[in-house]
Structure 1
C-alpha cells in the first residue's frame, strides 16, 4: 500500500514539474534550443532528478523537447523551414476536420462555439491577448472535436503548444484582431449552414493568414536584432 502511494506521489510530482517546464517553454522563459540540464532544472523547480527526467521524457513526446543519446535534452529549435512545415501539416488537417465537422455539427455545438468566440472577443478588446489566444485555441478545438477524429486532435494539440510558444516570443499583432474576428464570423456562418466545403476553405484561409502574420513578426524581430 505504501509502495502504491509513493508511486502515485511520484507521478503527481512529475506532472507538476512537467507543467512548470512546459509553461516556461511556452512563455519564453526557456529559450528555443536551450540546453536542459537535470541539475539545473531540479534546482529551478525544487525537485529531485527522477521527476525532472520523467517530465522531460513526456515533453519530448509533446514535441517541446528533443533528446539525444549522451547529449542530454534541449528545448526544441524552431527555424523558418520547420515553422512552414508545421503550418503545412496544420493546414491540411484543419481543413479536413472543418469539412467533417460541418456535416456533424449540432445546434448545441454551435452555441458552445459561438460562446467561445464571444469570450475571445471580450478578452482581445480588453487587451488580454494571452488569454484571448488561449480561448482562440479552444474555439478551434471545439469545432474539430465535432469531427470525432481523436487522433488528428492529438496531433493538433501537440502543434498548438509550439504555436503558443511562437506567439509568446514574436507577439500577436493587435491590428490582426479585426481580421481574426471576421474570419471566425465567416467560419461560424459556414458551420451553421452545414456547408462543408466553405468551412474547409475558410479555415484554410485562416491558417494561411496565421502563417503570414507570424512570419512577418519573426522577420521583423530578426531584422531588428541585426
Structure 2
C-alpha cells in the first residue's frame, strides 16, 4: 500500500490564524504578540509532559505566552484554544490536492500532535476523508519523538511511505531520522538548519501529486 502521512496543524489547517484570532478573543489587541510567543512554550510543555492531553498543553502554553508578554489572562480563558481549534480554517489548497492524491491511488493519514476528541472536530472540516489517524494521545508522546511514526508503521506496515509536513523540527527531522521520503511544505519561507533534512520543498500542497 502507498501511504502519504500528513501533519495537520500548519500543514493542512492554518494554526497561526487559529491561535492569533483565538488569543485576540481573550486578550484584544495582543493576538499577534501571543502567537509569536506561543510556539516555544508549546514545545517546552510537550517535552516536559509528553503524556499531557493536548488541550492542557494548549492552555499551559497560552498561560506562559501571556506571562512572557505581560498580558493578563483570566483562569477560565486559558481553554480558548482548545475550544476554537475545531473551527480553525483549512488552507485553500488542501482540498483539491488531497482529492488528487486519493484519485491517484494513495492512502492518506494524519500523524498529529493532538487529542482524539480535538482532531475529530477538525476532521469534520477537512474536505477529504482520511484512511487513518495517529494522535499524540495514541502514541503517548509528541513529535518530534519518533513514537507517532512508529505507531503508524507498526499498525499499517506501509510498502511505500511519504511524510508531508510544514514543521521542520516536529516532522522533517524525525522523518529524516527514520529514512522516510519527505516533503517539506514550507508555508513560512523558512531556512532549514540542515538543507539535507527536507528532500523536497513546496510552498503549499499544490503540485504534490505531480512531485510524488
- Answer whether TM exceeds 0.5 for this pair: no
Larger strand proportion of the pair: 2
The structure whose residues are more often helix, as a share, is: 1
The structure number with the bigger radius of gyration is: 1
